[in-house]
Amino acid sequence: MFSRGIVKAGAAIRLGAVAVLLGAFAGAAAPAQDTAGNVSAVKVSEEGRQVYEQICQACHMADAKGGGGAGAVIPALAGNPKLADKSYPIMMLLKGRGGMPWMTDILTPEQMAAVLTYVRSHFNDYPDAVTVADIKRASTTPPPVRDCDTCGK
C-alpha cells in the first residue's frame, strides 16, 4: 500500500512537470515556415538585425549609408542597387573585397542569410530572402567575373 502511494505520487509529479513544460512551449508560438529555406521571416529579421547591429553597423553605420574618412570609403548598403542581385552581397561576405573582410570565420551560413535578408529588405526594397542554400551554392562556385574592357591591360 505504501509503495503504491509513492508510485502514484511520483507519476503525478512527472505528469505535472510535463504539463508545465507543455504549457511553456504552448505559449511560445512555433516559427512560421514562410520563406524559402524554411526560415521564419520574423526570426530572420531579428537575427539579421542583431548581426547587422553587432558587426556591420560599425563600418556601414546605423542607417546603412556608409561613410568615409581618413581615405577610407565605406559603401552605403541603403539604397544600393548592387544588392538587387543576391549573388553580389553573398560574394562580398564570402570573399571580401578591398577593406571588407570575408566573414566566413565570423558568421555561419545561417547568420549570413539572415543579415543579407535584413539589409536587402530593411534598407532596400528587395523582399526575396537570401537562403542558406544560396550561401552554400555561392561558396562552392568561383566569384563572377564582370565584363571589363580595361581588364588585363
Q: Three-class SS of residue 73?
A: strand
* Spatial CA neighbour of 66 closest among 86, 50, 83: 83
Does residue 71 share a domain with residue 12?
no
Query: Is the predicted pLDDT of residue 128 greater than 50, yes or no?
Result: yes
Does residue 108 share a domain with residue 70?
yes
Does residue 79 share a domain with residue 54?
yes
147 falls in which pLDDT band (50, 70, 90)? low
Quote the pLDDT of residue 33.
Answer: 36
Averaged pLDDT for residues 19-27: 33
Quote the pLDDT of residue 23.
Answer: 35
Does residue 76 share a domain with residue 13?
no
Strand 67-69 to strand 72-74: parallel, antiparallel, or no bridges (unpaired)?
A: antiparallel
Does residue 122 share a domain with residue 94?
yes
Predicted confidence (pLDDT) per residue in 26-54, tens digit:
333 333 334 555 555 666 789 999 999 99
Predicted confidence (pLDDT) per residue in 60-107, tens digit:
999 999 987 667 789 999 999 999 999 999 999 999 998 899 999 999
Residue 52 lies in a domain: yes
User: Which domain CATH number covers 103?
Assistant: 1.10.760.10
Rounded to whole angstroms, the Cα distance separating 25 from 37 reads 24
Quote the pLDDT of residue 68.
Answer: 78
Does residue 89 share a domain with residue 50?
yes
Query: Is the predicted pLDDT of residue 145 greater than 70, yes or no?
Result: no
Q: What is the DSSP letter of 67?
A: E
Averaged pLDDT for residues 103-126: 96
Residue 23 lies in a domain: yes
The model carries a pTM of 0.66
Based on the structure, what is the number of domains in the chain? Answer: 2
Quote the pLDDT of residue 56.
Answer: 96
For 98-106, the CB contacts below 8 A with 24+ separation are 99/59, 99/72, 99/74, 103/55, 104/139, 106/55
Residue 83 lies in a domain: yes
Residue 153 lies in a domain: no
Rounded to whole angstroms, the Cα distance separating 129 from 73 reads 28
Q: Is 41 exposed, middle or buried (0-12, 13-18, 19+ CB in 10 A)?
A: middle
Measured between alpha carbons, how far is residue 88 from residues 15, 135, 138 in Å? 53, 11, 10
Residue 144 lies in a domain: no
Q: Structural domain of residue 116, as residue ranges?
A: 41-139
Residue 82 lies in a domain: yes
Residue 147 lies in a domain: no
